[in-house]
A = this chain, B = another copy of it.
Amino acid sequence: MQKKIVSELNPNVSVDCVIFGFDLEKLNVLVIDRGENQLAENVRLALPGNLIYNNENLEQAAYRVLEELTSLKDIYLEQIGAFGDPNRICKEADRAWLQSIRAEPEARVITVAFFSLVKMEDYMPHAASFAKNAAWIPANEITDLAFDHYDILQAARNKLKEKIKIQPIGFNLLPEKFTLSQLHKLYESILDKELDKRNFRRKVQKLDILTQLNEKQEGVPHKPSELYKFNEEKYQEITQNGYDNFGF
């Protein structure tokens, strides 16, 4: 009696997405609100995620789920890893919630987590499906989330920390035009430590992957900053010749 593989939900495997945004001040994370009013906020909030279909790969599933829940699409996702503790679904509120949305709410689920970096301005989330709301929350203000999502978030932050030491992915979080101070703040937010301003600027300039736009910030109540943009071509050129030290 062998089951044919069809496009049906797999009750045992889900995907979750940690989407980072940067509001030019601090790191934010996209969370959905499950909207059960009687619950405290921290247990209502969850990472966008859901079960996968049997005919899609993990990354596709993550894209789909993310778009279904938050309307975000066309963003690059990178895998963090699998989270599969048998009692990752132990909180009562989580169990109750699953009862309301899953066909097999008691099934053992392992989840594969992904993360991404987006420009917050480009991706204003709109909640849909079982997400009653979708919103950016400052990463440092999150103290708990549904299921094991808080652990996943921490793993994502660590992964991001490691990755940004090697690749200049931070630019994905910034608007097209940005100042060196904004970039500086971004690195400090991600690495969670202070970086000397002059040393940081020297290092960035040595990388030689920024184009100075000869435009200045406007409307700021202080000396306006030069604007820069990320130079993708230059970056390709450099990395193709085997350079990979973008460390901070």
Contact = CB atoms under 8 A, between A and B. Distances in A.
Interface in A53-70: 54-58
A168 to B, nearest CB: 17
A80 B4 CA distance: 30
Of listed A12, A56, A106, residue having the most chain B CB within 10 A? A12
Given A10-B12, A13-B12, A84-B112, A106 B5 contact: yes
A108 interface: yes
Contact of A107 (B3, B81, B84): B3
A108 B55 CA distance: 8
A122 interface: no
Interface residues of A, number: 28
Of listed A13, A84, A105, A107, residue having the most chain B CB within 10 A? A84
A108 B54 contact: yes
Contacts of A110: 13, 58, 110, 112
A219 interface: no
A221 interface: no
B58 A108 contact: no
A79 interface: yes
Interface of A: 2-5, 10-13, 52, 54-58, 79-82, 84-86, 104-108, 110, 112
